[in-house]
Amino acid sequence: MRAVLGGQPAKLHQALRELPFEGISTNRATSPSQTISARNGKAETFAELVKGSLEEGLLRYSARLELLGQAARLGVGRFEGNLIIAAVQHQTTPNHNQQKQRPPSGGAGERFRFKSAMPAAMIVLAMEGLIVLGALWIVAW
């Protein structure tokens, strides 16, 4: 609208006033708290649909698209629907904030890495020894 009516502020304002606003009631008989509670009910209904669609805490992309279609039919916007999906996944994922525990320095993990490096170090030392012996043999000849 701004591109078409940008030079005509009065017409732009009128056109914007005529746009339907989702979730805002122009009926004075409905209080804002009733509108909010109706909206929360839709969000709660959608959250229950999301919980039922999760498979081991994961949501397939095709299921997400289907859920967003259901959200639109319920009157929940796409952005809000994605937020609800993320919130439900966050709540149902166990230990989502815990990081993997690393063994303390010098613990079993450090010793294991050192032991696994020992054979490689032994091979390198053996090869260097053979090179030195070969060089001595050539010089002595």
pLDDT tens profile 41-84: 888 889 999 999 888 888 899 999 999 999 999 888 999 999 99
Looking at the fold, whether 62 and 114 belong to one and the same domain comes out as no
pTM: 0.43
Tens-place pLDDT, residues 105-116: 555 555 555 567
* Number of structural domains found in the chain: 2
Residue 127 belongs to what domain range?
A: 106-141
**Residue 35 burial by CB count (10 A; 0-12/13-18/19+): exposed, middle or buried?**
middle
36 domain residue, yes or no: yes
Residue 23 counted as domain residue: yes
CA distance from start to end of the chain: 94
